[in-house]
Structure 1
Amino acid sequence: MASLVRAQPLLFPATARHTATVIFVHGLGDTGHGWAGAVENWRRRQRLDEVKFILPHAPAIPITCNWGMKMPGWYDIHTIDGNAESLRRNEDEAGILRSQAYFHELIQKEIDAGIPGDRIVLGGFSQGGAISIFAGLTSKVKLAGIVALSSYLLLSSKFLELVPKPEFNKETPIFMAHGDSDQVVNLELGKKSYELLKSMGYNVTLKIYEGMEHSACPEELDEVESFLRERLPALGNSDAKSEL
């Protein structure tokens, strides 16, 4: 495939001293702007003042289930019919690995800028959540946490072959959330992914929201905020280095 054209991510700088970063990844057909409202709401509450938010934009790629027409996507999807097996069949491994490399690069840029890996959370919705689990658990730096909303585990049949040895994120908390009325990424796929991650020894939790479709609800976003506050507590000036 020709080199992908990637727009620069949407950035929300920390409103206090920048000590932590959240990279939040949108789903198929969306852009980073689709999650700007959620970030702005969190920022209004002033509980995550030291956090910089990065909202990347997926490149436009041909999507098979969209009759091959281009739309923003982190990898190709052949079928979206609510069937768990449909999403797991014919996975776009090459596309998944390209996006994995991109997110590892974003993480490294934050580390190079002085934010340690254990002050970085990677998360997202739908495709964005799926690539967050995959890129997060295969990262070669220890992260603070992973968020996966209405998502699933990519390349599950060979996942363990793709994680680094030793694993840096075996203990990293993973917050998964799913609606029980999701007709796009079936809840059963979310549950299977949770159970598989649990069986492999990962530190994962799953919250199910009654009546929620393939979307987010205020209660879920509040719980994501609580997870971020827990994983990225404010440091104030406690670790400020001497200016001498």
Structure 2
Amino acid sequence: MTNRSQGAGIARNYRRRSIFDEVAFIFPNAPVIPITINYGMRMPGWYDILKLQEATSIEDLSQKEDEAGILKTRDYFHTLISDEKTKKGIPSERIVIGGFSQGGAISVLSGLSCPTKLGGIFALSSYLPLRDKAKGMVPIDNPNKDTRIFMGHGVNDPLVKFDWGAKTAEILKEWGYSVEFHSYHGLDHSANLIELDDLEKYLAEMLPPTADGQSSEL
């Protein structure tokens, strides 16, 4: 699960190269909502952004977040995962969620708090929202305590600061998660071919082909 335009291009590339043939790609569209930092203009967003550019640290950013919007989207992601499992018969451990920027942020929170085991979680140019409350959202049995997390971040990102991504990886490791964090020098708030190659290697490990052609979701 990721931004439709970005994700669709990556999926087409995989199809042309005949990789991840067993994987179905799902790209949910973020709703069009007012975004506070853009003077209330309506645009696609998984949640409102109340404070970003003026935040000097991830701790500062976490002081003012759209908690209601973040939790609403988290619940929506959980519903998507549940539907793939119950309606299509996809084992949840063959489902990987991830995205870029807001999509990656909500994927991390949704993955940590997911009530069922996932195949993987990835986040590009992202951070952990609601960091002070996220640990308390993890199910008691924590089905994803061993789920590997991939994070990639441009060192020169002026929007979602590199330190926010690095700090998120540090926090998750302190909580006991296996986090693969990659930094990309010269990269701003975008992705490059090196990062996408690293992500592809991660996905290949998380979603290996099965003998019976078992479907997977991404």
SS in 2 for 1:54: coil
Give structure 2 stretches of 5+ with no counterpart: none
CA contact (8 A) 2:112 2:138 kept: yes
2:175 aligned residue (192, 196, 200): 200
Which residue of structure 2 aligns with residue 83 of structure 1?
56
In 1: Cα distance, 2:152 partner to 2:173 partner: 15
Map 1:1-150 onto structure 2 (within 5 A): 24-26=1-3, 32-81=4-53, 83-85=56-58, 87-112=61-86, 113-150=88-125
CA contact (8 A) 1:77 1:87 kept: no
SS in 2 for 1:25: coil
Determine which structure has greater relative contact order: mean sequence separation of CA pairs < 8 Å that are 6+ residues apart, divided by chain length.
2
Which residue of structure 2 aligns with residue 230 of structure 1?
205
* C-alpha RMSD over aligned residues: 1.5
The answer on 1:167 being equivalent to 2:142 is yes
Q: CA deviation at 1:239?
A: 6.6
Q: CA deviation at 1:79?
A: 2.5
In 1: Cα distance, 2:6 partner to 2:123 partner: 16
Give the counterpart letter for 1:219 in structure 2.
I
In 2: Cα distance, 1:50 partner to 1:38 partner: 15
Q: Deviations over 1:108-152 (max 9, x none)?
A: 111011110110000000000000000011000000000100010
SS in 2 for 1:55: coil
Matched pairs, number: 212
CA contact (8 A) 1:64 1:78 kept: yes
Identity of aligned residues (%): 50
CA contact (8 A) 1:83 1:185 kept: no
Give the TM-score taking structure 2 as reference length: 0.93
Give the counterpart letter for 1:199 in structure 2.
E
In 2: Cα distance, 1:237 partner to 1:161 partner: 38
In 2: Cα distance, 1:128 partner to 1:174 partner: 14
SS in 1 for 2:26: strand
In 2: Cα distance, 1:133 partner to 1:237 partner: 30
In 2: Cα distance, 1:72 partner to 1:87 partner: 20
SS in 2 for 1:71: strand
In 2: Cα distance, 1:107 partner to 1:33 partner: 21
Give the TM-score taking structure 1 as reference length: 0.83
In 2: Cα distance, 1:150 partner to 1:143 partner: 21
Over 6 Å off, 4+ runs:
none
Distance 1:237 1:212, change over 3 A: same
More helix by share: 2
